[in-house]
């Protein structure tokens, strides 16, 4: 596919720009569809793009697959309530995360059904590898807090259909709504005039467009935090931020970088503050989640109940994906169950979980602290007790003092996107 506008007079650029954009849109579409088929991330039938109709010239068709994804992402009409879009829980102005203080968001046809996990930020997911188990059985990668979706396209099915989210009955219901959208014509122009004849294929294209949008739109990965500008040599961090960074990296202190990678990659790529691994931190149970009213209910991450293929791996019960810490200072709630609501408490939990468990867990009538109360007793041995900063015992000094915790929190605030040098 050759874009020829280089050799043409400037006054013809806008018109030909359309042609080139469409050509490129179709090119990248083809590339992605190939990938999707190869990895089985989309439908089981090979996707058929109606190339002839996609090639019909039309100014409207200048929209890219990613541009369509952007419109879909913000479209609340695609939900059963008519009031919930992807952007409602993943607000583009709030690092693509939630904007309220709820532990889990409300969805369903009347926005009255509570979910069971905190809404994560969608920033920097484009570099997440597919879920895999290493030869020794160690899990890594994948989407959702339990890594159960292999691709962003596969992930996007769930919010459309989940009863506690956009709550559509089936893919056809989503497509019926999309046909009423202001951008329905653009959708046809990109994916073929007859695309709506087959709702299953049309739904696959919706998922594909959302994946392209998240992967390609720079708003999802701007790499322009204060820390990015620091490692690029454009500014110096404040003394407290530098102290916090040192404590974050120091294995005998925070040891945070053991999982939340803070150094540039070998290829010079800025760090993502996750190594894509999974870990069990023993996060306390959150009574604010309705599902937890049932004492027999436990969200055990990798081993279920949301994820169903690893239930036999009891050693993985309670492990959740290490999230990126980029933009963490803008979050309202922390950890998979939204149990914490400020960053100081989160860092305090890491370093005083084992020295002062009574600060985080409930106490039984006889005075015993019910440590790791969000795991069934027989699985509590899965909690990570060896890596610093959680390798201590009651009576030991915490790995970080109160002043050091403040420094780490100051450092974490340098990971917020959009920093402008004053
Ligand atoms: C009602 C709130 C809500 C809505 C609406 C919603 N999400 Fe989410 N999103 C969540 C929650 C909660 C999770 C974590 C789910 C889990 O771990 O099982 C999540 C997880 C994700 C993830 C995985 C993030 C990661 O770290 O792996 C992606 C990607 C995502 N959502 C995209 C979308 C898209 C695209 C839409 C619209 C089609 C959408 N979400 C709609 C709440 C929502
Ligand atoms: C052994 C791996 C590991 C180490 C070391 C570690 N973390 Fe984490 N971190 C995790 C995992 C796993 C989660 C997600 C847990 C969950 O959702 O329940 C997490 C979550 C977080 C969160 C919440 C993010 C969010 O979006 O909700 C913060 C903040 C955080 N870590 C900061 C730190 C700091 C600060 C340190 C050092 C004191 C640290 N972590 C050390 C694995 C680790």
Name the residue of 277, 325, 347, 408 whose CB sits within 8 Å of the most ligand 2 atoms, as the mutation to test its pocket.
325
Is the domain of 341 the same as that of 385? yes
- At which residue do the structure tokens 């009213």 appear? 293
Is the domain of 236 the same as that of 121? no
Please give the pLDDT value at position 53.
41
Nearest of 339, 348, 342, 340 to residue 329 by alpha carbon: 342
Confidence class of residue 17 from pLDDT cuts 50, 70 and 90? very low
Is the domain of 125 the same as that of 153? yes
| Atom from ligand 1 closest to the CA of residue 147 | 27
- At which residue do the structure tokens 């290493």 appear? 134
Ligand 2 contact, 336 CB (< 6 A) = yes
Among protein residues, the one whose CA lies closest to atom 36 of ligand 2: 256
Q: Which residues contact 221 (CB under 8 A, 6 or more apart)?
A: 123, 124, 126, 127
* Domain-embedded: residue 124: yes
| Atom from ligand 1 closest to the CA of residue 152 | 29
Name the residue of 122, 129, 337 whose CB sits within 8 Å of the most ligand 1 atoms, as the mutation to test its pocket.
122
| Atom from ligand 1 closest to the CA of residue 128 | 27
Is the domain of 175 the same as that of 281? no
The SS3 of residue 319 is: strand
Q: Output the six-digit token pair for 201.
A: 């294929």
Average pLDDT for residues 175-180, to the nearest whole number?
98
Q: What is the DSSP letter of 278?
A: E
Confidence class of residue 29 from pLDDT cuts 50, 70 and 90? very low
* Domain-embedded: residue 350: yes
Neighbours of 117 (CB within 10 A): 22
Percent of the chain past pLDDT 70, that is, above it, reads 85
Q: What is the per-residue pLDDT across 138-172, written as a single tens digit (0 to 9) for each?
A: 999 999 999 999 999 999 999 999 999 999 999 99
Nearest of 83, 84, 68 to residue 182 by alpha carbon: 68
Q: Which ligand is nearest to the CA of 102?
A: 1
Name the residue of 317, 323, 401, 407 whose CB sits within 8 Å of the most ligand 2 atoms, as the mutation to test its pocket.
323
Confidence class of residue 302 from pLDDT cuts 50, 70 and 90? very high
Average pLDDT for residues 176-200, to the nearest whole number?
98
Name the residue of 86, 308, 337 whose CB sits within 8 Å of the most ligand 1 atoms, as the mutation to test its pocket.
86
Is the domain of 106 the same as that of 140? yes
What is the enclosing helix (H) or strand (E) of 247? helix 239-249
> Any idea of the CA torsion for 415, 418, 421, 422, to the nearest 10 degrees?
-110
Is the domain of 265 the same as that of 151? no
Tell me which of 169, 200, 220 is where a domain ends. Answer: 220
Is the domain of 211 the same as that of 238? no
Residue 334 has pLDDT above 70, yes or no: yes
Q: Which ligand is nearest to the CA of 348?
A: 2
Please give the pLDDT value at position 5.
27
* Domain-embedded: residue 363: yes
Percent of the chain past pLDDT 90, that is, above it, reads 82
* Domain-embedded: residue 420: no
Tell me which of 189, 204, 220 is where a domain ends. Answer: 220
From 70-74, 260-264, 394-398, the region with the lowest mean pLDDT? 394-398
* Domain-embedded: residue 405: yes
Among protein residues, the one whose CA lies closest to atom 41 of ligand 1: 86
Is the domain of 309 the same as that of 367? yes
Residue 54 has pLDDT above 70, yes or no: no
Residue 319 has pLDDT above 90, yes or no: yes
| Atom from ligand 2 closest to the CA of residue 325 | 24
Is the domain of 203 the same as that of 231? no
Please give the pLDDT value at position 66.
97
Q: What is the pTM of this model?
A: 0.88
Distance between CA atoms of residues 65 and 205, nearest Å: 9
Confidence class of residue 389 from pLDDT cuts 50, 70 and 90? confident
Among protein residues, the one whose CA lies closest to atom 36 of ligand 1: 86
Residue 19 has pLDDT above 80, yes or no: no
Q: Output the six-digit token pair for 261.
A: 């990678």
Please give the pLDDT value at position 327.
98
**What's the N-to-C CA distance of the chain in angstroms?**
45
Among protein residues, the one whose CA lies closest to atom 33 of ligand 2: 256
Ligand 2 contact, 283 CB (< 6 A) = yes
Mean pLDDT over the full length of the chain: 88
Among protein residues, the one whose CA lies closest to atom 10 of ligand 2: 322
Tell me which of 187, 220, 253 is where a domain ends. Answer: 220
Q: Output the six-digit token pair for 129.
A: 């590898």
Is the domain of 238 the same as that of 125? no
Distance (Å) from CA 281 to ligand 2 centroid: 8
* Domain-embedded: residue 1: no
* Domain-embedded: residue 235: yes
Q: Output the six-digit token pair for 125.
A: 């997911």
- Whether 128 and 135 have beta carbons less than 8 Å apart is answered as no
Distance between CA atoms of residues 263 and 270, nearest Å: 7
Distance between CA atoms of residues 209 and 265, nearest Å: 29
Residue 404 CA: distances (Å) to CA of 103, 245, 255, 330, 410: 27, 10, 13, 20, 10
| Atom from ligand 2 closest to the CA of residue 118 | 27
Task: Tell me the CATH number at 40.
Answer: 1.10.760.10
Please give the pLDDT value at position 276.
98
Beta-bridge partners for 113: 107
Average pLDDT for residues 89-102, to the nearest whole number?
98
| Atom from ligand 2 closest to the CA of residue 338 | 27
Ligand 2 contact, 360 CB (< 6 A) = no
User: Residue 374: which domain range?
Assistant: 226-415
Number of domains in the chain: 2
- What are the backbone angles phi and psi of residue 76, rounded to the nearest 5°? -70, -20
* Domain-embedded: residue 421: no
- Whether 48 and 201 have beta carbons less than 8 Å apart is answered as yes
Confidence class of residue 10 from pLDDT cuts 50, 70 and 90? very low
Nearest of 262, 253, 256, 266 to residue 230 by alpha carbon: 262
Distance (Å) from CA 322 to ligand 2 centroid: 6
Ligand 1 contact, 335 CB (< 6 A) = no
Is the domain of 393 the same as that of 257? yes
Is the domain of 321 the same as that of 339? yes
């Amino acid at each position: 596919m050759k874009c020829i506008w280089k050799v043409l007079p400037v006054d013809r650029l806008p018109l030909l720009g359309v042609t080139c954009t469409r050509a490129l849109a179709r090119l990248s579409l083809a590339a992605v569809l190939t990938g999707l088929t190869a990895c089985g991330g989309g439908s089981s039938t090979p996707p058929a793009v109606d190339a002839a109709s996609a090639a019909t010239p039309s100014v409207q068709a200048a929209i890219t697959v990613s541009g369509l994804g952007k419109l879909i992402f913000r479209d609340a009409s695609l939900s059963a309530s008519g009031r919930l879009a992807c952007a409602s829980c993943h607000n583009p102005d709030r690092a693509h995360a939630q904007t309220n203080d709820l532990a889990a968001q409300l969805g369903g046809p009347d926005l009255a059904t509570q979910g069971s996990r905190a809404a994560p930020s969608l920033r920097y997911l484009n570099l997440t590898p597919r879920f895999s188990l290493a030869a020794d059985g160690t899990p890594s990668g994948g989407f959702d807090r339990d890594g159960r979706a292999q691709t962003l396209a596969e992930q996007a099915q769930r919010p459309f259909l989940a009863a506690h989210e956009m709550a559509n009955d089936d893919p056809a219901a989503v497509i019926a709504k999309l046909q009423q959208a202001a951008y329905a014509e653009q959708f046809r122009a990109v994916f073929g005039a007859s695309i709506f004849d087959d709702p299953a294929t049309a739904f696959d294209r919706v998922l594909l467009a959302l994946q392209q949008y998240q992967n390609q739109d720079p708003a999802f990965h701007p790499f322009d935090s204060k820390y990015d500008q620091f490692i690029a040599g454009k500014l110096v961090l404040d003394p407290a931020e530098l102290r916090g960074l040192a404590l974050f990296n120091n294995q005998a202190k925070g040891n945070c970088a053991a999982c939340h990678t803070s150094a540039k990659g070998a290829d010079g790529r800025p760090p993502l503050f996750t190594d894509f691994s999974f870990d069990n931190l023993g996060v306390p149970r959150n009574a604010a989640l309705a599902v937890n009213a049932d004492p027999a209910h436990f969200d055990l991450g990798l081993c279920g109940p949301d994820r169903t293929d690893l239930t036999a791996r009891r050693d993985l019960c309670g492990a959740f994906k290490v999230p990126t810490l980029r933009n963490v200072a803008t979050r309202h709630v922390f950890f998979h169950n939204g149990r914490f609501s400020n960053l100081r408490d989160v860092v305090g939990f890491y370093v005083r979980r084992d020295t002062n468990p009574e600060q985080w867990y409930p106490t039984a009538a006889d005075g015993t602290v019910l440590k790791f109360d969000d795991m069934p007793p027989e699985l509590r041995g899965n909690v990570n007790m060896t890596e610093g900063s959680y390798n201590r015992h009651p009576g030991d000094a915490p790995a970080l003092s109160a002043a050091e915790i403040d420094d780490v929190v100051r450092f974490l605030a340098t990971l917020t996107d959009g920093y402008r040098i004053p």
